[in-house]
Protein backbone atom coordinates (compact mmCIF):
# COMPACT_ATOMS: atom_id res chain seq x y z
CA UNK A 1 0.00 0.00 0.00
CA UNK A 2 1.55 3.28 -1.05
CA UNK A 3 1.73 6.32 1.07
CA UNK A 4 1.30 9.75 -0.46
CA UNK A 5 3.10 12.72 1.13
CA UNK A 6 1.85 16.26 0.65
CA UNK A 7 4.49 18.93 1.09
CA UNK A 8 3.20 22.11 2.69
CA UNK A 9 5.64 25.06 2.71
CA UNK A 10 5.89 26.87 6.09
CA UNK A 11 6.05 30.66 6.13
CA UNK A 12 7.73 32.38 9.08
CA UNK A 13 5.73 35.10 10.71
CA UNK A 14 7.32 38.54 10.21
CA UNK A 15 8.31 40.30 13.43
CA UNK A 16 8.64 44.05 13.84
CA UNK A 17 9.21 46.55 16.60
CA UNK A 18 9.06 50.32 16.91
CA UNK A 19 10.95 52.21 19.59
CA UNK A 20 10.66 55.93 20.32
CA UNK A 21 13.11 57.55 22.75
CA UNK A 22 13.52 61.05 24.18
CA UNK A 23 16.77 62.02 25.90
CA UNK A 24 17.33 65.37 27.60
CA UNK A 25 20.45 66.60 29.39
CA UNK A 26 21.88 69.76 30.95
CA UNK A 27 25.67 69.76 31.42
CA UNK A 28 27.88 72.30 33.18
CA UNK A 29 31.51 72.50 32.05
CA UNK A 30 34.11 72.21 34.83
CA UNK A 31 36.03 75.22 36.11
CA UNK A 32 39.68 75.02 35.05
CA UNK A 33 42.44 77.24 36.51
CA UNK A 34 46.12 77.22 35.56
CA UNK A 35 48.96 79.18 37.15
CA UNK A 36 52.61 79.20 36.05
CA UNK A 37 55.28 80.77 38.18
CA UNK A 38 57.65 82.94 36.15
CA UNK A 39 61.36 83.14 36.87
CA UNK A 40 63.41 86.28 37.22
CA UNK A 41 65.36 87.78 34.34
CA UNK A 42 67.56 90.78 33.52
CA UNK A 43 69.01 92.12 30.29
CA UNK A 44 71.12 95.16 29.41
CA UNK A 45 72.79 96.58 26.34
CA UNK A 46 74.47 99.86 25.53
CA UNK A 47 76.97 101.80 23.46
CA UNK A 48 78.43 105.29 23.32
CA UNK A 49 78.29 105.81 27.11
CA UNK A 50 80.87 107.98 28.86
CA UNK A 51 80.91 105.88 32.04
CA UNK A 52 80.56 102.21 32.92
CA UNK A 53 77.25 101.96 34.79
CA UNK A 54 76.65 99.09 37.16
CA UNK A 55 74.21 96.76 35.43
CA UNK A 56 71.16 95.15 37.05
CA UNK A 57 71.90 91.65 38.33
CA UNK A 58 69.79 88.65 39.28
CA UNK A 59 70.00 86.82 42.60
CA UNK A 60 69.55 83.10 43.14
CA UNK A 61 66.04 83.73 44.48
CA UNK A 62 64.99 85.76 41.43
CA UNK A 63 65.30 89.25 42.93
CA UNK A 64 67.09 91.95 40.91
CA UNK A 65 69.31 94.91 41.72
CA UNK A 66 68.74 98.38 40.31
CA UNK A 67 72.03 99.22 38.60
CA UNK A 68 73.40 102.74 38.41
CA UNK A 69 72.85 105.68 36.08
CA UNK A 70 74.73 106.09 32.80
CA UNK A 71 76.10 109.33 31.34
CA UNK A 72 77.02 110.60 27.87
CA UNK A 73 78.98 113.47 26.41
CA UNK A 74 77.35 116.14 24.29
CA UNK A 75 76.66 115.00 20.72
CA UNK A 76 77.39 111.33 21.38
CA UNK A 77 75.64 108.55 19.50
CA UNK A 78 74.41 106.29 22.28
CA UNK A 79 71.87 103.72 23.36
CA UNK A 80 71.09 102.15 26.73
CA UNK A 81 68.42 99.48 27.20
CA UNK A 82 67.76 97.65 30.47
CA UNK A 83 64.93 95.37 31.59
CA UNK A 84 64.24 93.22 34.63
CA UNK A 85 61.56 90.93 35.98
CA UNK A 86 61.73 89.46 39.46
CA UNK A 87 60.67 85.85 39.95
CA UNK A 88 57.31 84.93 41.40
CA UNK A 89 57.14 83.83 45.01
CA UNK A 90 56.67 80.24 46.18
CA UNK A 91 53.61 80.61 48.42
CA UNK A 92 51.81 77.24 48.38
CA UNK A 93 48.23 76.80 47.25
CA UNK A 94 45.44 76.05 49.71
CA UNK A 95 41.94 74.65 49.16
CA UNK A 96 39.22 77.28 49.28
CA UNK A 97 35.45 77.06 48.94
CA UNK A 98 34.35 73.90 47.11
CA UNK A 99 38.00 72.91 46.74
CA UNK A 100 38.89 75.90 44.56
CA UNK A 101 42.59 76.81 44.91
CA UNK A 102 43.45 80.07 46.62
CA UNK A 103 46.75 81.73 47.42
CA UNK A 104 50.04 81.42 45.62
CA UNK A 105 51.55 84.09 43.39
CA UNK A 106 51.65 83.31 39.68
CA UNK A 107 52.90 85.60 36.92
CA UNK A 108 51.10 83.67 34.17
CA UNK A 109 47.48 82.69 34.71
CA UNK A 110 44.56 81.31 32.72
CA UNK A 111 41.09 80.13 33.60
CA UNK A 112 37.82 78.81 32.21
CA UNK A 113 34.76 79.45 34.36
CA UNK A 114 31.16 78.27 34.63
CA UNK A 115 28.40 79.57 36.87
CA UNK A 116 25.83 77.67 38.90
CA UNK A 117 23.37 76.23 36.39
CA UNK A 118 19.85 77.59 35.99
CA UNK A 119 19.05 75.03 33.28
CA UNK A 120 15.79 73.09 33.26
CA UNK A 121 14.55 69.87 31.66
CA UNK A 122 11.17 68.14 31.80
CA UNK A 123 8.98 65.49 30.12
CA UNK A 124 5.30 65.88 30.97
CA UNK A 125 2.51 63.26 31.19
CA UNK A 126 1.79 63.69 27.48
CA UNK A 127 5.50 63.01 26.70
CA UNK A 128 6.08 66.61 25.63
CA UNK A 129 9.75 67.45 26.26
CA UNK A 130 11.35 70.78 27.17
CA UNK A 131 14.96 71.62 27.99
CA UNK A 132 16.88 74.90 28.47
CA UNK A 133 20.49 75.80 29.23
CA UNK A 134 19.36 78.68 31.45
CA UNK A 135 21.24 81.95 31.91
CA UNK A 136 24.50 80.68 33.41
CA UNK A 137 27.87 80.57 31.62
CA UNK A 138 29.29 77.16 30.79
CA UNK A 139 25.97 75.27 30.49
CA UNK A 140 24.90 73.09 27.54
CA UNK A 141 21.38 71.74 26.96
CA UNK A 142 20.87 68.75 24.64
CA UNK A 143 17.72 67.14 23.27
CA UNK A 144 17.81 63.85 21.35
CA UNK A 145 14.70 62.35 19.71
CA UNK A 146 15.20 58.92 18.18
CA UNK A 147 12.84 56.54 16.39
CA UNK A 148 13.86 52.96 15.57
CA UNK A 149 11.90 50.61 13.28
CA UNK A 150 13.11 47.01 13.37
CA UNK A 151 11.95 43.98 11.36
CA UNK A 152 13.43 40.57 10.81
CA UNK A 153 15.17 41.89 7.68
CA UNK A 154 16.37 45.39 8.55
CA UNK A 155 16.53 48.22 11.04
CA UNK A 156 15.92 51.89 10.30
CA UNK A 157 16.70 54.72 12.71
CA UNK A 158 16.15 58.47 12.67
CA UNK A 159 17.88 60.64 15.31
CA UNK A 160 17.25 64.34 15.75
CA UNK A 161 19.76 66.18 17.95
CA UNK A 162 19.66 69.81 19.13
CA UNK A 163 22.16 71.54 21.43
CA UNK A 164 22.18 75.03 22.91
CA UNK A 165 25.21 76.26 24.86
CA UNK A 166 26.39 79.21 26.90
CA UNK A 167 30.16 79.49 26.43
CA UNK A 168 32.40 79.67 29.47
CA UNK A 169 34.01 82.90 30.62
CA UNK A 170 37.79 82.75 30.02
CA UNK A 171 40.96 84.75 30.54
CA UNK A 172 44.69 84.49 29.98
CA UNK A 173 47.06 86.96 31.61
CA UNK A 174 50.83 87.38 31.92
CA UNK A 175 52.67 90.02 33.90
CA UNK A 176 55.35 92.13 32.25
CA UNK A 177 58.74 93.14 33.57
CA UNK A 178 60.07 96.70 33.85
CA UNK A 179 62.11 98.24 31.04
CA UNK A 180 63.88 101.51 30.32
CA UNK A 181 65.47 102.52 27.01
CA UNK A 182 67.13 105.78 25.97
CA UNK A 183 69.14 106.41 22.81
CA UNK A 184 70.01 109.09 20.29
CA UNK A 185 72.64 111.21 18.63
CA UNK A 186 73.38 114.94 18.41
CA UNK A 187 71.82 115.59 21.83
CA UNK A 188 72.86 117.43 24.95
CA UNK A 189 74.70 115.31 27.50
CA UNK A 190 72.86 112.80 29.67
CA UNK A 191 73.96 113.66 33.19
CA UNK A 192 72.05 110.86 34.95
CA UNK A 193 70.64 108.08 32.81
CA UNK A 194 67.50 106.18 33.64
CA UNK A 195 67.73 103.05 35.79
CA UNK A 196 65.56 100.28 37.15
CA UNK A 197 64.68 100.13 40.82
CA UNK A 198 65.23 97.10 43.02
CA UNK A 199 62.85 94.24 42.26
CA UNK A 200 62.20 91.89 45.16
CA UNK A 201 60.63 88.48 44.56
CA UNK A 202 57.04 88.91 43.39
CA UNK A 203 57.36 92.72 43.15
CA UNK A 204 58.16 94.72 40.01
CA UNK A 205 60.94 97.25 39.66
CA UNK A 206 60.03 100.93 39.23
CA UNK A 207 62.06 102.63 36.47
CA UNK A 208 63.43 106.17 36.70
CA UNK A 209 64.01 108.28 33.58
CA UNK A 210 67.07 110.22 32.41
CA UNK A 211 68.15 113.73 33.27
CA UNK A 212 69.56 115.48 30.20
CA UNK A 213 69.84 114.21 26.68
CA UNK A 214 66.50 115.78 25.90
CA UNK A 215 67.45 118.53 23.40
CA UNK A 216 69.57 119.02 20.30
CA UNK A 217 73.18 119.86 21.15
CA UNK A 218 73.12 123.00 18.99
CA UNK A 219 71.39 124.90 16.21
CA UNK A 220 71.41 123.05 12.89
CA UNK A 221 72.66 119.81 14.44
CA UNK A 222 71.16 116.61 13.07
CA UNK A 223 69.78 114.54 15.91
CA UNK A 224 67.73 111.49 16.83
CA UNK A 225 66.15 110.64 20.16
CA UNK A 226 64.20 107.65 21.51
CA UNK A 227 63.04 107.05 25.05
CA UNK A 228 60.70 104.35 26.33
CA UNK A 229 59.59 103.19 29.74
CA UNK A 230 57.55 100.17 30.79
CA UNK A 231 56.40 99.84 34.36
CA UNK A 232 56.35 96.20 35.42
CA UNK A 233 53.65 94.42 37.42
CA UNK A 234 53.89 92.50 40.68
CA UNK A 235 52.76 88.88 40.67
CA UNK A 236 49.16 88.29 41.75
CA UNK A 237 47.33 85.61 43.71
CA UNK A 238 45.94 82.88 41.46
CA UNK A 239 42.46 84.00 40.43
CA UNK A 240 39.69 81.48 41.12
CA UNK A 241 37.00 83.74 39.67
CA UNK A 242 36.47 84.93 36.10
CA UNK A 243 38.42 88.16 36.65
CA UNK A 244 41.93 88.37 35.26
CA UNK A 245 44.70 90.01 37.31
CA UNK A 246 45.80 93.47 36.19
CA UNK A 247 48.68 92.26 34.05
CA UNK A 248 50.27 93.86 31.00
CA UNK A 249 49.09 91.18 28.57
CA UNK A 250 45.49 90.07 29.13
CA UNK A 251 42.84 88.40 26.97
CA UNK A 252 39.32 87.79 28.25
CA UNK A 253 36.03 86.43 26.92
CA UNK A 254 32.66 86.91 28.58
CA UNK A 255 30.54 83.79 28.95
CA UNK A 256 27.14 83.50 27.30
CA UNK A 257 23.88 84.06 29.19
CA UNK A 258 21.16 84.05 26.51
CA UNK A 259 21.09 80.61 24.87
CA UNK A 260 18.93 79.79 21.86
CA UNK A 261 15.63 78.09 22.76
CA UNK A 262 15.19 74.40 21.94
CA UNK A 263 11.62 73.73 20.71
CA UNK A 264 9.59 70.67 19.75
CA UNK A 265 5.94 69.73 19.19
CA UNK A 266 6.29 65.98 18.67
CA UNK A 267 8.85 63.24 18.01
CA UNK A 268 9.24 64.37 14.41
CA UNK A 269 9.92 68.06 15.02
CA UNK A 270 12.88 69.52 16.84
CA UNK A 271 14.31 73.02 16.48
CA UNK A 272 16.77 75.40 18.10
CA UNK A 273 17.13 79.17 17.73
CA UNK A 274 20.34 81.19 17.59
CA UNK A 275 21.26 82.69 20.94
CA UNK A 276 22.99 85.87 22.04
CA UNK A 277 26.68 86.73 22.24
CA UNK A 278 28.89 83.95 23.57
CA UNK A 279 26.47 81.11 22.77
CA UNK A 280 26.27 78.33 20.21
CA UNK A 281 23.38 76.31 18.76
CA UNK A 282 23.46 73.13 16.67
CA UNK A 283 20.78 71.01 15.00
CA UNK A 284 21.22 67.75 13.13
CA UNK A 285 19.23 64.79 11.79
CA UNK A 286 20.83 61.39 11.26
CA UNK A 287 19.15 58.61 9.29
CA UNK A 288 20.46 55.06 9.03
CA UNK A 289 19.29 51.77 7.46
CA UNK A 290 20.83 48.41 8.30
CA UNK A 291 19.92 45.24 6.39
CA UNK A 292 20.44 41.89 8.10
Span 201-237, pLDDT tens digits = 999 999 999 999 999 999 999 999 999 999 999 999 8
In the predicted model, what is the mean pLDDT of the chain?
Answer: 91
* pLDDT score of 130 more than 60: yes
Work out the pLDDT band at 92, boundaries 50, 70, 90.
confident
The Cα 184–Cα 49 span in angstroms is: 11
Taking residues 248-265, report their average pLDDT. Answer: 95
State the Cα torsion 236-240-244-247 to the nearest 10°.
20
Burial call 132-166: b when 16+ CB within 10 Å, e when fewer: bbbebbbbbbbbbbbeeebeeeeeeeebbbbbbbb
* pLDDT score of 99 more than 70: no
* pLDDT score of 141 more than 90: yes
Note the pLDDT of residue 100.
Answer: 63
Strand 101-102 relative to strand 94-95, pairing? antiparallel
Span 69-89, pLDDT tens digits = 999 999 999 999 999 999 998
How far lies 26's CA from each of 14, 31, 121, 142, 143, in Å? 40, 16, 7, 6, 9
* pLDDT score of 12 more than 90: no
Asked if 271 contacts 283 with a C-beta cutoff of 8 angstroms, the reply is yes
Work out the pLDDT band at 2, boundaries 50, 70, 90.
very low
The Cα 19–Cα 146 span in angstroms is: 8
Percent of the chain with pLDDT over 90: 78
* pLDDT score of 51 more than 80: yes
Side-chain-side CA neighbours of residue 282 (13 Å): 12
If DSSP codes are grouped into helix, strand and coil, which group holds residue 172?
strand
Work out the pLDDT band at 16, boundaries 50, 70, 90.
confident
Work out the pLDDT band at 8, boundaries 50, 70, 90.
very low
Work out the pLDDT band at 41, boundaries 50, 70, 90.
very high
Amino acid sequence: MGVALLACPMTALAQSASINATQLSVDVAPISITGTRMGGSVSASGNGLSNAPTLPTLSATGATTAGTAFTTVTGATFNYDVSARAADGSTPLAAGAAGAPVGGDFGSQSGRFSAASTGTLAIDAANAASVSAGAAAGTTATAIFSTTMRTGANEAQVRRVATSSNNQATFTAERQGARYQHGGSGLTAVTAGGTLGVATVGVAATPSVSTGGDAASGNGVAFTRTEAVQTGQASATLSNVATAPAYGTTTTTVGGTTPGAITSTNMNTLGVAAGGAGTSSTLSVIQSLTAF
